[in-house]
Amino acid sequence: RMSSSAAASVRSAAPTARPARHCRTSRVKYAATTVETTHRGRHHVRFAGRRAGVCCQAVAAEEGAEVADVLDGSSLFLVGMMGTGKSSVGRKMATALGYNFFDTDTIIESVAKMSIPEIFESDGEEGFRAIETSVLAEVAAYKKCVVATGGGIVKRRENWMHLRNGVVVCLVGPPDLLARRIVADGAEARPLFKEAGNDVAAVAGKIEEMYAERQKLYANADVEARLQELRIRVQSVG
C-alpha cells in the first residue's frame, strides 16, 4: 500500500516524468563510452557533476544543455547534511538541465499525510526511514530527474542501490554556515535538532557530531560540491 501511494505521489510531483526502462549505473556508462579507464571514468563523472553544480546558479542556458548531453539522461541525486540547500540547488539544477525535480521529504509528507516532525513523533526515526526508502525506490526508477534527498538517506545500505541509478552529488558546507541556515528556518521544527533549539552553537555541534557519523557514507558519492566553491565558480561564470 505504501509503495502504490509513493508511486502516485511521485507521478503527481512530476507528471511529465517517465520511468526508465533500464536503470544502469551512470559511472559504468561513462567509463565504457567516454574514457579509457575506470579511474578516468569516475573523474569524468566528477567533472560533469561540477559543471552541473555551476549551471544550477549560472545564467548561461546553453551550458546547462551541454551538461545534460554529458549526463545522457542520468538522474542526479543530491545528498548531504541539512542546511546545504539541496532543495533550492536542486530546483535550479533541474531548470538548467531541463530535468524534472523531486524532493523526497515533500513526497514523504504527501504519502504519509503528516509532516516530518509528526512522522517522527508517531513512528520514530525508523518509521520515517522506511517511508523514505519506499519513496526513493519509486523516484529512482525515473530518468532525467534531479532528486533532493534527506540528510540521513545515506544511512540505509539498501538506499544506495537506488541512488546508484544516477549520479550522486554530495553538497558540503562548514557547520557554522549550515547551523545559521537551520536556525533561520527554525531548528525546533527539525526532529533531529529539537534538543538544540535555536542556539547556533548547539546546532553546529550537533551537525559536527552527525557529520562524523555519516562522513564515510557521504564519501561514497560520485561528486563532492562545496558550497563555497560553487559561489566562486558562479561568480567567475557570471
DSSP states of 144-194 as a string?
SEEEE--TTGGGSHHHHHHHTTSEEEEEE--HHHHHHHHHHH-GGGSGGGT
Q: Is the pLDDT of residue 22 over 60?
A: no
The whole-number average pLDDT for the span 212-238 is 71
Cα–Cα distance, 175 to 189 (Å, whole number):
18
Kindly report the backbone phi and psi dihedral angles of residue 64, in degrees, each rounded to the nearest multiple of 5, phi listed first: -60, -40
pLDDT at residue 62, as a whole number: 47
Q: Is the pLDDT of residue 107 over 90?
A: yes
Answer yes or no: are the C-beta atoms of 114 and 123 closer than 8 Å: no
Cα–Cα distance, 77 to 148 (Å, whole number):
6
Per-residue pLDDT tens digits for 40-85: 333 333 444 444 443 443 333 445 666 777 787 889 999 999 999 9
pLDDT at residue 136, as a whole number: 96
Sign of the CA dihedral with 20 first, then 167, 12, and 150 last: positive
Place of cell 542526479: 76
Task: Give the percent of the chain with pLDDT over 90.
Answer: 48
Lowest mean pLDDT among 36-40, 136-140, 225-229: 36-40
The whole-number average pLDDT for the span 163-178 is 93
Per-residue pLDDT tens digits for 144-162: 999 999 999 999 999 999 9
C-alpha 114: how far from its chain's center? 22
Residues ≥6 apart with Cβ < 8 Å to 121:
191
C-alpha 9: how far from its chain's center? 18
